[in-house]
């Protein structure tokens, strides 16, 4: 993992895992404190900062990932290219680029801010709750994904029509449609009208 001032404080020198801390925010997205990751997702959930990335290829197809079966939250379901949480003090843009590389082994050739969305999505399977102030990013993927198998089960590039069909047949994350719909204006600007987003 690249070391930045934010990530340096989250790396252990003796190889033991440290608690992952999230940035708690108010309804305006202003930082108000921190909480341990799992605790922030326990019902009813604590509002925290997050990000969602949507990467497209040159044909206007969206890169989806199926979350690894070993993940504690929403395992085995399909979702957007990458999502996660900035470390406290880490810029959402930097976190989005970092996690895209960590999970998928790719660096976006373009990554642009696409607004924010606030939501509250319980996950019926785990009982965990996503209370998130989510920073959205859209961009281009010009490399083949090289997923980390601990994070990602599989990947697929899909057209808008294929996504509609797949969404009807396969399980998707509880937050997927909320973040996709919020990012659609920026996605249309990036991919053009012919892509159908």
| List 83, 90, 103, 130, catalytic entry | 83
What distance in Å separates the CA atoms of residue 23 and residue 88, rounded to the nearest whole number? Answer: 5
CA distances to 72, 78, 134, 173 from 75, in Å: 6, 9, 20, 9
Beta-sheet pairing, 31-36 with 110-122: unpaired
Identify whether 132 is a catalytic site residue. yes
Catalytic, 23? Answer no
Nearby residues of 94 by Cβ (< 8 Å), 6 or more positions away: 4, 6, 86
Alpha-carbon dihedral angle through residues 177, 189, 192, 197, given to the nearest 10 degrees? 10
Q: Which of 90, 103, 130, 132 is catalytic?
A: 132
Helix H, strand E, coil C: the string for 120-180 is EEECCCCCCEEEEEEEEEEEECCCCCCCCCCCEEEEEEECHHHHHHHHHHCCECCCHHHHH
DSSP 3-state helix, strand, coil percentages of the chain (rounded to 5)?
A: 25, 30, 40
Q: Provide the annotated active-site residues.
A: 83, 132
């Amino acid at each position: 993992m690249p070391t930045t001032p934010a990530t340096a404080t989250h790396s252990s020198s003796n190889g033991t895992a440290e608690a992952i801390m999230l940035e708690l925010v108010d309804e305006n997205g202003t930082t108000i404190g921190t909480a341990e990751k799992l605790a922030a997702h326990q019902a009813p959930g604590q509002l925290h900062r997050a990000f969602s990335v949507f990467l497209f290829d040159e044909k206007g197809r969206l890169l989806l990932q199926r979350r690894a079966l070993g993940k504690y939250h929403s395992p085995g379901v399909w979702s957007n290219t990458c999502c996660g949480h900035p470390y406290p003090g880490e810029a959402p843009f930097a976190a989005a680029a970092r996690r895209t590389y960590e999970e998928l082994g790719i660096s976006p050739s373009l990554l642009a801010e696409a607004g924010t969305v606030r939501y509250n999505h319980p996950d019926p399977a785990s009982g965990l709750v996503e209370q998130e102030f989510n920073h959205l990013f859209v961009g281009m993927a010009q490399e083949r994904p090289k997923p980390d198998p601990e994070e990602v089960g599989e990947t697929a590039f899909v057209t808008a029509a294929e996504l509609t069909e797949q969404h009807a047949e396969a399980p998707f994350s509880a937050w997927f449609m909320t973040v996709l719909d919020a990012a659609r204006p920026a996605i249309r600007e990036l991919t053009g009208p012919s892509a159908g987003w």
